[in-house]
Amino acid sequence: MIIARSNPWLVCPRPNPQAIFRLFCFSHAGGSAMAYRAWAEKFPPSIEVVSIQLPGREDRIHEPLFTQMEPLVRAVAQALLSSLTKPFAFFGHSMGAVIAFELARYLRRLGEPAPMLLFVSGHPAPQIPNTQSITYNLPEPEFIEEVKRLNGTPKEAFDYPELIQLMIPLLRADFEICQTYAYTEEAPLDCPISAFGGYEDQYVSRESLDAWKTQTTSSFIARMLPGDHFFLHTSKIYLLQKIAHDIHRLIGLGV
């Protein structure tokens, strides 16, 4: 099955009907499906990469933004159901990690196919209370300074005020999703969880990454990679190797 672009939620840069496994990828706050477009070229042909395109970015720029986790997860689930036709995993970085986690739990509640493996990257375990300040509603000058501090937006972008003005509503909406997210306790997932963190990430400690272990009754592994919060760019090759390794081990293609 080739995932058609007629579904605006799904971007499949290299459709591969022969793949036996599908990896759905969720981006960080302010990010888009573009973050994963190069991944498809790096994986073996057994794995097809599908990026999730949330409203308000790229070709969906004029669609209303989500500001709360629960309705976003429900919408993503409805968009994905027809594509859960082969074994699959979720990968999410930062905000995307929580979306992937909550989506896995939501699919379980619906009795729909569940991911065989959950990859979480750059985010503390969801049960750990968020102690960071609320910033999504800051006045614009302070909000822009906060965005700069997080180092997730290319520095060159701040040289173009028109571009920043386009990005601010999206960033505010995504920050609101993250900063108003409220974890509710449920039974742990039964799929393995693989967690990734950056050695220099000042927002996600190894301890908070290890705490993801309580969210599964299956196997768990945490790996630290060189880099800050956006180590998935600076350590991409190693990250993709480990993702492919974990998938192949799970489906019996060796290590």
| Residue 41: both structure tokens together | 């070229």
Determine which one of 27, 51, 83, 94 is catalytic: 94
Cα(170)–Cα(213) distance, integer angstroms: 32
Contact between 66 and 132 (Cβ < 8 Å): no
Q: Does residue 51 have an active-site annotation?
A: no
CA dihedral 171, 41, 195, 133 (to 10 degrees): -10
Count of alpha carbons within 13 Å of 105, Cβ hemisphere only?
17
The rounded Cα 27 to chain-centroid distance in angstroms is 4
Q: Exposed, middle or buried: residue 37 (CB in 10 Å: 0-12, 13-18, 19+)?
A: middle
Catalytic residues: 94
